[in-house]
Structures are given as structure tokens and as C-alpha cells.
Chain A
Amino acid sequence: MSIIYVLIPIAMLFVLIAIGIFFWAVKSEQFDDLDRQSVSILFDDETQASKVSKDQQSTDSSKP
């Protein structure tokens, strides 16, 4: 049972880290626009965007 004297402080440390991350997230405006952030993973793909445009150009040029 005396192990809790060690484990609980460790748990407290984790909570502190979690609170730190939460504060950072709020201060860096992560919660300002919930609609956008939830789908941004679908979009942010720089290389794919340019690839699509290249495909587009090639199909455009092959168009009669």
C-alpha cells in the first residue's frame, strides 16, 4: 500500500503536464475555430494539392 506515496505524485505530474498542454492549446487559439480544426486533417496536404494541379494541367493539355 505504501507504493501510493510514489505513484500518486507521479500521477500528479501527469495531470500537471495535461494542464500545461491544455493551457498551451487555448493560448495558441486551438479552440477559437472548432469547425475548421476538426476537418483540417483532410486538407493540409501541400504535395497532393500541387500534384492534383499537375494532373489537371496534363489532362488539360491532352484535351482536344
Chain B
Amino acid sequence: MKHLDCFHCAEPVLTGTQFTTFINNEEQVMCCPGCQAVSAAIIDAGLTNYYKYRTEPGSKQNALVPEELSSFSAFDLPEVQQDFVHQSSNISSVSLSIDGITCAACAWLIEHKLKHVNGIVKIQVNTTTERALVSWQENTIQLSKILNHISAIGYQAAPYQVDEQEIKSKNNSRQFLLKLGLAGFATMQVMMFALALYAGYFTDLEVQYRDYFRWVSLIFAAPVVFYSAQPFYFSAIRSIFSGRLNMDVSVSIAILGAYIASCIATINENGEVYFESVSMFTFFLLLGRYFEQNARQKASVSSSNLHKLIPLTAHRVTENVTKEIPAKSLKIGDVILVKPGEVVSADGVITQGMSSINEAMLTGEQLPVSKGDRCEVYAGTINIEQPIHVQVTAVGQDQLVAEIIRLQESASNNKPKVALYVDSISNYFTWTILFVAVLTYVVWKIYWPEDAFWVTLSVLVATCPCALALATPTAVTCATGIFTRIGVIVRKPGVFEKLPKIQHVVFDKTGTLTCGELEINSAELFSAMNKQEALAIAAALEMSSLHPIARAFDSYRDHQISAHSTQSHIGLGLSGSVLGTHYKIGSAKFVNLTDSDDHAIYLHDTKHLIAKFILSDSIRSDAAKTVKTLLAQGNRVSIASGDTSTHVDEVADKIGITEVNKGLSPGDKLALIQQYQSQSNVAMFGDGINDAPVLAGANLSIAMGSGAAVTKSSADLILLGDQLSRFTDAVKVAKLTEKIIKQNLCWALGYNLFIIPLAVTGHVLPYVAALGMSASSLIVVGNSLRLLKVRL
């Protein structure tokens, strides 16, 4: 059979030509009703150009359930809106984070779809941050309608509150760009005149032209010194107040010293000018800082985009009347109704009904837990099967989620501080330079007072720590670039010092070594039915369920077969009739068998057992290879899992890990990591919210791109593509980076040590100082650029 891919999402089509859309005079095949509905909506809106210009396929669509669409109505409540909607006269505006944006064509599609909707004033979509800014007229259209329009073309939008931290970092980044751009423009000009002045040494340049060029350079260098270089001055002042001198102190002294000296030389019409060195040096340093800042901002945006963990609204039940209210107005003792598929909005105990609750966001385990009367449920967990009434026992900061976040914060404050090389070096270096300069001035003042000022300045300029200041940032910038290219995001500074020192890697099981999704491992048949038929019947029955087990059967669906009168039996399984026969599917207990296999699902008709399906959490394809590489590099590798079942040992066995710790609570994990830390540097992999405290406690923490938001915000590194093998690549790059930083520092220190005695004794000719300064910086930059050529 010819293999077809869905025209919209490029996933394989398993349903034949059942779903098609007429696009550009051709019938295009779709994989599911969801993709069909979305592509039809796009074509109907006259937005065919989307398919013409997109560079990435769209995301797979699930058929939109009417209930899901109506859930947007919660966003129309004024109490809910007041948190994130800004109003001025009749116009409201909101920031939306949008799921499913894959390329620039998506932004175009959303903008054009909404532009023509009555009542929308302005819409602007940003593909980098996956966000949209929408303004609309309050009395013409409601927010829920706008969200409906966006979801009709296949994107999930949700309002979010921009946090202060993010606004600050965005402003910062823009300020950096302005300063960098200005420094760039000015440097180009100053260099041009510097070239003329250098040429003047060797040919006859009349003094009047020389002075003219100097004055022009002075004017161009002024904005660089007084505007672009500001971040260095502020950092220097802060470090002086904290009593520990950093590199920015000597950078600031060099910039200001060289500029002032050059101004004096220009005004007095004798001496030397260093305007070009000052501008170029500032530009290079800013460039490094700008890239660093940008990478960090990108990481913070991508993790804060994830939807909120706790829902905004709750259904409060008072005397059998259910009313939708904002979750934050809930009080202890209120009773709320949680429907199947909904997220629990506050911690509480079940007072009525029983159901299975998916607590994956707390425990990391995908399999739901059955809960009945008086059982505790937690905010953020998902109700799977039946409606339940919950009496609220904790609100706001007292809820378990808030508790976990606090635990994580306190653990990250206790993190062992790894001293940065440059920080400690620069402290001594700066003190030494200042001491030498003062000594030089005093000695020269006593013996040759007329030269004292100029010699001291030449000491400051010649020993200007350009190369030293550039040594780390340029190498780190190049390495960050490679990390971004391979899909590893650096969240915190200092990663490049920590990565090469890692000796022990600890993995959480679910979601890191495994994908966190169940799949059918094997099927055992007990009747005449063939495997495909049995799977299709099972899939039809499971279709009505939201249970993670049901998702494992999704890919075996046959659209010709459907189930009737399906019933779910909490914690046991499902029953229903398919093609006139009544079936039961579920655990051993459900079909009256005595089998203790936790991961087996049985299909049973009224009389016989038909099939046994073994489910397992699928292991990541590159997990074994990564572990092998880590072991080969001399690391210790172990598992720390909250899971108690034998599945942990199976996974460990398959991947080749011998050290297994299972059944650990978040607190136990933290204790285990601390015990390991007493012997070696520990790197921890995790993905669930329960891993957040451990990640904060480890020397280096790595979160998976698909993991929970809190986990990602506490991690040092994020693996975007969820490919574990990228970690070993990252270690390789970090080791090389460390080597290059050391080379750079050796060179820079060597140069400075060589030039200081010459400068102190007044033997450094002005152009030699300028040349040495530029050459030492360029050698450092060139050496760092070697990093970009690394083969992975």
C-alpha cells in the first residue's frame, strides 16, 4: 500500500482517503477529522497562502470537543479577567500564549484569520516567543469568542500574566541592543579616522589635519564611552560597594582612563590618542554580553509560556446549585464539583463520588490513582473518570503545589557556590594593576614629575585587561551558540564551569529515560481472533476513556468499528458492545483472573478471555547509547525513581544501569543526591514537578523540554528536543570550552605580565601599546572562534 502523509500535519495517514480537504484544486488527504476541520477552516477563510509558504508542517489536531470549546467561557468572567486584561476606554487588550506555532506562516495565518473578525482592533503574533497581543472592543466581541476563532484553525491559546521579571529582562535586552548598535556605528567611524592617523605616522600628515581627525574621533567615541559602556560602570560600582573587585572595575578604569587621556592629548595637541581602542573594546565586550543575555531571555520565555498549573475557575456547589466562580475566591470548606477531564482547582477531600486521579504533575507517574470518599486530592491533578465533589481544605499558598515550589526555592539557595575563575582572578588582577599604577605615579612624581601622568596612563592603557575581559565571554558565547544549535538551552550562568566537572549522573525514570507514554509491548491471544481485530476492538472500547492506558491503543483504531453503551468501572476497566458482542477490558481483577501483572490489560467477552496486552512505558531510543557513553567517560550512573514496581529494574536492565534506587519521595531523592554529593559532583535529570527540589539541590540539573514548567525553571540546562544524547555532546563542548578559556587566560595574563615592566619604566611607545592591546584581544577572539568548528 502506498504510504500517505497527512497534508496538514505530515503524520502518516492510517485511515485511507476517509478525510480530505479541497486545497488548490486538489483533494488532499488528512489523517483525522481534527486536521480536516482545521484545514477546511483555513481554506474557507481564504488563507490558502499558509500552505504555500509554510516551512514546517502544522501540529496534529484532535477533533475539537464542544465541551472543550465552551470551557473558554470561564475567561469572560470579570473577576478572572482582571488579572490579565488591560482596559482603556472601550478597548481591551490581552497577551496570549499560543501552542502549536511552528513557523512564520502560522503567525500570518492567525493574524489574517482574526483581522477580519468583527470587533478585533489589533492583533500581533510573535513567532519567537509564541505569543500574541490582541486588542478588541469589549462590547462587540468576547474573549472566549476570540479564543474559539484561534482554536478553529488549530492553535490553543490561553491568556497569561506577564511577570515582572520577564518585562525587566526584555527591557534589559532592548537597552543592550541599543548600546551595542550605537557602539558598532561609532566604532566603524572611529576606526576609519584611526586608519588615517596611523598612516600619518609614516607619511606627512599636517598637524592641523591630525588634530581635526582627533577631534572627530573624540566626538564619535563620546557616546560609546558615556552611553554604551554604562553597564560596565554600574557593575563596577556595585562590586566596589560589595568590597570585591571584579573585571568591570579594571574595564571601567581602562575605558575612562584611556578616553580622558586621549581627550587631554587632543586638547593639548600633544601625546597619544586611543579612541579606536576604547570604542572597539567596548563593542566587543557588549557583543558578548548581548548574546549571553539573549540566550537567557529566550530560555525564560519558553518556560514561562507553559500554561498555568492550577485552573482559573471552579464549579462551586451550594445547596445543589452549581456556579462557576474564579478559583481564587474559593474558601476553606467550600464544596466544588470536578467533572471528568477537568483539573482540580484546590486541595481538598472527596465528599461524594469516586474516580481515578492523574497525579503525574506531582509524582511523575502517568498511571492514575483510584480515589474514593474522604481521599485527599491536590490542586493541579486531573480527574479522569467520574464527576466528584471535593471539599476544599487548603487554598493559595497552603496548597501542595505552592509547598513544592517553596521547597525547590530553598534548595536552590543552598546550592554549593562554584567560584568562577575570572571572578577570583580579576579580583587580584585589578588590585595589582591599581597598586602598580599608583606606585608608578608616586615614583615618577618624585624623580621626573613632568612625565608622571603620561607614564601612569600608559601603564593603565597597556595593561588594559581587554584580552583578559574577553577571554571567558567570547568562549562562552561561542559555546552557547553551539548549545542552541543542538537544542540545549543554558538557563543559568556557570554551566560551563560545572559541566566538565560532573562525575555522577542520576536519572529520574519516568519522562527522562522513558518517554512517559504507555505503549503496547506485546499481545497474547487466547481465541481464534487475530491480533489486528483484537486490537481494533480494544481501541474502540478505549476510545471513550481519558485514561493514559487508553492512549496506548489510539494508533490501532479502525474507524469502521465503534463501541456502543460503553461504561467505565473506576480503577478496573471498561465494558461495552462492539459489533453486537459485549466486551470487558481492564485489569485481571475486572475479568476475574488471578494474575499479578500490573501492566497487563485483558480483553474478555461474555464467556472467554480473548487477549492479554502487556503495556510498558517506552524507553527513549537513545537512552542506552547515552548511558554507555557516560559510563565510558568514567561517570557513575544511577536511577532515582519514585516508582516502586519492577518496571524500574526492567528499564535499568535494558539500558545498562546497575545502581537503582526506587520508591523515593521528593525528600528522599534530595537526601540521596546530597549523600552522593559528599563523594562527587552530581548531575540530575528530571521532568516532573516532584523532581524540582532535587534538581535545585544537585550540582547541575537538566530538565527535559517536555517537562513541567517548575522543573524547567529550576534547571540549569533544558534539553529541547528531548534527546538524551545531546547531553554527552554538551559535556564534550563544555570540556573544550574550559580548555579554550584556560588558553585565553594564559595568553592574556602572559601578555599583561610582559608589558607591565616595560610600561612602568616608560618604554612603551604609544602605537606599540595600541597594537599590543588590539592584537591580544584579536588573538583571544580568534581562539574562541575555533569552538564554532567543533564536530559533534
Contact = CB atoms under 8 A, between A and B. Distances in A.
B112 A49 contact: yes
Interface in B111-145: 112, 125-129
A52 B127 contact: no
Nearest to A43: B108
B749 to A, nearest CB: 37
B53 A39 contact: yes
A34 B128 contact: yes
Contact of B177 (A26, A38, A60): A26
Contacts of B43: 56
A25 B48 CA distance: 31
Contacts of A60: 22
B169 to A, nearest CB: 13
Contacts of B129: 32-33
Contact of B107 (A4, A23, A26, A36): A36
Given A33-B128, A39-B104, A56 B181 contact: no
Interface string A18-49: 11001100110001111110111011110011
A19 B25 contact: no
Interface in A42-64: 42-45, 48-50, 52-54, 56, 59-60, 63
Contacts of B234: none
A36 B46 contact: no
A48 to B, nearest CB: 7
Contact of B209 (A1, A15, A42, A43): A1
A31 B104 CA distance: 15
A5 B212 contact: yes
B126 A23 contact: no
Nearest to A49: B46
A35 B104 contact: yes
Contacts of B126: 32-33, 36
A42 B53 contact: yes
Interface residues of A, number: 36
Nearest to B48: A52
A18 B128 contact: no
Interface in B409-438: none
A45 B53 CA distance: 13
A23 to B, nearest CB: 6
Given A42-B53, A52-B48, A53-B45, A63 B128 contact: no
Contact of A52 (B49, B189, B209): B49
B219 to A, nearest CB: 8
Nearest to B185: A19
Nearest to B178: A26
B724 interface: no
Interface core residue of B104, B128, B182 (most chain A CB under 10 Å): B104
B104 A40 contact: yes
Question: Which of A31, A33, A50: most chain B Cβ within 10 A?
Answer: A33
Contacts of B220: 12, 15
Contacts of A27: 174
B216 interface: yes
B22 A63 contact: yes
B667 to A, nearest CB: 42
B49 A43 contact: yes
A63 to B, nearest CB: 7
Given A40-B104, A56-B48, A22 B127 contact: no
21 contacts: A4-B209, A8-B212, A12-B220, A15-B185, A15-B189, A19-B181, A22-B182, A23-B181, A26-B177, A31-B177, A32-B128, A33-B107, A33-B128, A36-B125, A36-B127, A39-B104, A40-B108, A52-B48, A52-B49, A56-B48, A63-B22
Interface of A: 1, 4-5, 8, 11-12, 15, 18-19, 22-23, 26-27, 31-36, 38-40, 42-45, 48-50, 52-54, 56, 59-60, 63
The 7 closest A-B pairs by CB, nearest first: A53-B46, A43-B108, A33-B126, A39-B104, A36-B127, A36-B104, A33-B128
